[in-house]
Amino acid sequence: MQERIQRLREIKHAASLGGGEAKIAKEHEKGKLTARERINLLLDPNSFHEFNMLIKHKLGTPGDGIVIGHGTIDNRKVCVYAHDATVFGGSQGYYHGRKVYKIHEIALDMGVPIIGLNDSPGARVIRPELAGSDDPYRVSDEKHAGVIFYMNARCSGAIPQISAMLGNCTGGSVYSPALTDFIYMVDNLSHMFITGPRVIKSVLGEEISMEDLGGAKVHCQMTGVADFRVKNEADCMQEIRRLLSYLPSNWREKPPHKDTGDSPDRFAETLENIVPEQPTKGYDMHLVISDIVDGGEFLEVKPEFAREIIVGFARLEGNTVGIVANQPKVLAGCMSVDSSDKQARFIRFCDAFNIPIILLVDSPGYLPGKSQEYSGIIRHGAKVLYALSEATVPKIAILMRKVYGGAALGMGILPGFGTDLIFAWPTAEVGAMGAEQAVALFYGKEIKDAPDPEAFKSQKVQEYKTHYADPLALASEVTYILDIIEPRETRRTLIQSLRLVQSKKIETVPKRHGNIPL
């Protein structure tokens, strides 16, 4: 028996080196970690249990380019897979695909998050005369890497799916992460594209670097494909752990509670100094969020993309909430094509995983212009309306200053979007547009013909503001704004409101699924 045990240990040790020490050294020279080093950095110490390590070890390609298994993060169970670039470059072969499919099945069956550490060029290219079981496109069953997208879709909304891009990834190795909930990229290490620079040059004659084509900055700032940009792999693993602390393990559970030590009775004393009374003056909404939430801790999602809207996770009384807030500092807080996509997707994630939504509202409306109309602002804006209407989790809105035109729809202020509780500050304004614009539209001829045009205009602007921009007058005429609160009361009001609506239950209409305007 001892001889067999010793042989097992030797074989497992050799398999743990993947393609061997020389190839590991090459990865280190590139500034990269190996698959197992990444996993050990991500998970709690000594918690990783690997599956199918010995697949194809007799052929000298142990694991077939993928490491899979389970472990814990902060003592919570997770499943994980990591491409092994030392074996076939981490490319997808048959057994490779079977393994990654299997770990998704296990994660879904067990109701635990799945984390993918991606470093793969996609499908393995096999010389025709050598094609066989290693060819991902020549398979004997349906559970292989070519249809991992099917498992991504099955897991979607059931368990959190998190992807980290840790090398040059193309083809299927970017489509699968694109179907997951969150994507991390590392500066100067991560690259995502469907066709790489060499193919582009051969087909189009264009020369472009991998960084300019699909680097972390491109996908975090321009395309919005990725959610988080980090400095190195160690930061990436730490940030994944941080994200998971806000999330439940599956759709049946609520997010974990954390004792933050921040009093629920604390007043947010600095808010009235942060937000200017004049509705056309900008300010940084991050300062508002920081003053409201527990300990000022806020995990922003897509912070570099569509910055006119802010979305992310925080805690109130130790419980996870999703924040959706206009950013007056960028595009005056206007809503846009890109911000609509960002907002709608975040709302739907929160709704899938029992995370209440807090809406901090201060927007002049949707961004006007030919570019936005030609880009389909109607279709993209409709995604937000759909997401808000579909969401059954608690939704609480704070109308801080202005909400004009379509922004009242897109931020769930008007009745009919299922926003449970709506509160307003004394600076709140609701209307089709701002006072100046409305008066110019309705009284343009009268202003022009008046003996004193400026005095007449000022009078009409004041009348408009008295009727539409006075929240006290508004509160006497509408029931959907439940109370006018002082800015300093915002945190306490939100916490008390969440206590009220935390047990909210809504029966949805029986159907297969809706048809969101994608």
* Active site residues per annotation: 171-172, 406-407
* Cα–Cα distance, 213 to 196 (Å, whole number): 8
Contact call for residues 146 and 172 (beta carbons, < 8 A): yes
Three-state secondary structure call for residue 425: coil
* 177 φψ region: left (φ > 0), alpha (ψ -120 to 50), beta (else): alpha
3-state secondary structure 216-263: HHHHHHHCCCCCEEECCHHHHHHHHHHHHCCCCCCCCCCCCCCCCCCC
- Nearest in space to 498 (alpha carbons), one of 400, 356, 399: 356
Phi first, then psi, for residue 29 (nearest 5°) are: -65, -30
* Cα–Cα distance, 196 to 210 (Å, whole number): 7
DSSP label of 506: -
Tokens coding 244: 């998971």
Residue 86, burial from CB neighbour count under 10 angstroms (0-12, 13-18, 19+): buried
Our CA dihedral for 454, 459, 460, 463, rounded to 10 degrees, sits at 160
User: Would you give the distance in Å from CA 305 to the centre of its chain?
Assistant: 11
Whole-number Cα distances in Å, 358 to 131, 292, 424, 491:
54, 11, 13, 11
Residue 510, burial from CB neighbour count under 10 angstroms (0-12, 13-18, 19+): exposed
Looking up tokens 């070519």, which residue turns up? Answer: 146
3-state secondary structure 446-472: HHHHCCCHHHHHHHHHHHHHHHHCCHH
- Nearest in space to 91 (alpha carbons), one of 59, 63, 51, 114: 63
E strand or H helix at 324: strand 319-326
